Structure 1
Amino acid sequence: MIDNLSSGRLENLRHLGDSVEVIIGDLKRPEDALRAVDGVDSVFHFAVNPEVRVSTTNPETHFNENVVAIFNLLEAMRRRGVKELVFASSSSVYGEPVEIPVSEGALIRPVSVYGASKAACENLIHAYTRLYGIKAVALRYANVVRPRLRHGVVWDFMNKLRANPRELEVLGDGTQVRSYIYIDDAVEATILAWKKTDDAFSIFNVASEDWITVDEVAKIVIEIMGLKDVKIIHKPVAHGVGWLGDVKKIALKIDQLKALGFKPKLNSAQAIEKTVNSMMGDFVK
């Protein structure tokens, strides 16, 4: 695997021992991309800056981290003859859908540079599948939650409540709707889509089968942290969202994954609960 360690930590891989070879490098450098694919059969590309808000104030970050990186990776695969790619896309490619949940055939109308960059990546990948015989699977993930989070709503809420257990600032009006999927379910869906798909280019939504509001997430976090009488302060910027490029409602249909035999073990609330509980003992501000 290759990682620039901008957010990852080598200590997270210690339990794997010598079974994983780690290259400290960056896919924004073509020579590192070539090193990364030497001698491999399949590539799982999950390197990304996940902070959607960054794309509002620093849009070149997501252009470089997503579009430049995937181009360098695809070129390296072409030059080294690697023929399989699994790509982590995002539900953000759908932008503000008229109705939820949305299927893979919905219009792609991103409202953030992050979402637009992911859509651009999907199009580049599709072109390489047609031109160079690469087989690719693009996975449009909902909000994936897990232990050791260092970004996102759960981490943000826990951070704020550790600093001030009497009040919680919620970006947006709290009614924003999201689907959350626990990491174990996301991994199972990823492997299933990779192994059971024969098409040259496939797209799958990856999510739980329900959705909850941001205020409901806040209540779960507050309850598990054992706090009482927390004052929630909402900070919407426009039509109830928390920042420019945020979406009010997004949830995904997963019928295509279910047709492969996938069934998430946890719903959105359970995924949040398990994540918060996992972070209680070793949460780092």
Structure 2
Amino acid sequence: MRSIVTGGAGFIGSHLVDYLVSAGDDVIVIDSLISGDLNSIQDHLDSKRITLVSADLLSDLWQEHLFGADRVYHLAADPDVRESSVSPDKQLNNTIIATHRVLEAMRKASVPEIVFTSTSTVYGEASIIPTPESYTPMEPVSVYGASKLACEALISAYCHSFSMRSWIFRFANIIGARSGHGVITDFIRKLKANPHELEILGDGKQTKSYLEVRECIRAIMFVVHHTQDPVNTYNIGSEDWISVTEIADLLCQEMGLSPKYRYTGGSRGWVGDVPKMQLDISRLKSLGFIPEISSRESVRIAVKSALE
């Protein structure tokens, strides 16, 4: 296949590129390299197994590369949930407007399929946990979550209006090698600055589901290969959860440190944070896919990767 990957030099995107290259796809990566890391895909560039188009989706000229493509994997977005409460315009432009431009480029180039990475934050503070895909009302508590939900609606409309097919994946917290943000990165940065004390945002009781990135990619591709509806929406996550304090314990154990924990207080770590999150993955399991690792094991793998 000829596959387009927006945000292909990013954390999840680069792992997806690894998978697609190994599957023999002709891969074109479109990435502004503002938050993406060229080193993540450099080996593929050196071997000429992929093509890199260095472009911002809010600019032009990248659209011509979609002609002849079979599928777009749209991962480019601003991944910082906390930042969305400070600079909402940035989130709206880089997520909603960028997604609309991708869909328009697909329509004009007659690209029939799109894979979109959404988020568990579209559910807001769900009253049903684990939360199924059918949960309502969808009331995001962050601009990030609202932006992703708006993109889901746009994709659905384009699929039904222009005979496209889509796969929408609502992620738990995806972690692992090449991640440049999140609680693990934050903790490591703080402990390197002061190994005797660790600031933990909120009360440390925030409890969420985590999944290692390669297992996430395996789930994505499994669903894509086993579903054919016009719009296919699936949760991806593990079947358990872990608290922020437990993550700190695991990290400190790996680093050989015993710092004093200092909590900032409150049930949320930041504006827009959801204190408890676990996704119902029954729909994913009904296809025959069962995650092979837990939240705790995912965190342990991600910690080791980050320290390396």
Taking structure 2 as the reference length, the TM-score comes to 0.88
**Unmatched tracts of structure 1, length 5 or more:** none
Indicate the SS of the match to 1:205.
strand
Q: CA RMSD in A?
A: 1.0
Indicate the SS of the match to 1:21.
strand
Taking structure 1 as the reference length, the TM-score comes to 0.95
Matches within 5 A, 1:195-210: 195-210=225-240
Q: Say yes or no: does 1:135 pair with 2:162.
A: no
Matched with 1:163 is 193
Indicate the SS of the match to 1:147.
coil
Kept in 2, the 8 Å contact 1:2–1:36? The answer is no
Matched with 2:277 is 250
Matched with 1:51 is 80
Distance 1:196 1:102 in 2: 22
**Unmatched tracts of structure 2, length 5 or more:** 1-28
Per-residue deviation, residues 152-210 of structure 1 (Å, max 9, x unmatched): 00100111111111111111110111100001110001101111111000100000111
Percent identity of equivalent pairs: 40
Matched with 1:122 is 152
1:276 corresponds to which letter in structure 2? V
The Cα shift of 1:18 comes to 0.8
Distance 1:162 1:137 in 2: 40
User: How many corresponding residue pairs?
Assistant: 277
Counterpart among 280, 286, 306 of residue 259 in structure 1: 286
Per-residue deviation, residues 228-283 of structure 1 (Å, max 9, x unmatched): 2x1111113x5x101111111111011111112211121001001011111222xx
Deviates more, 1:5-14 or 1:124-133: 5-14
The Cα shift of 1:148 comes to 2.1
Per-residue deviation, residues 75-99 of structure 1 (Å, max 9, x unmatched): 0000000000000000000010113
The Cα shift of 1:31 comes to 3.5
Per-residue deviation, residues 29-50 of structure 1 (Å, max 9, x unmatched): 2443x13423211000111111
Kept in 1, the 8 Å contact 2:40–2:178? The answer is no
Q: Say yes or no: does 1:4 pair with 2:32.
A: yes
Matches within 5 A, 1:49-88: 49-88=78-117
Distance 2:125 2:299 in 1: 23
Kept in 1, the 8 Å contact 2:184–2:303? The answer is yes
Distance 1:132 1:18 in 2: 34
Distance 1:112 1:76 in 2: 28
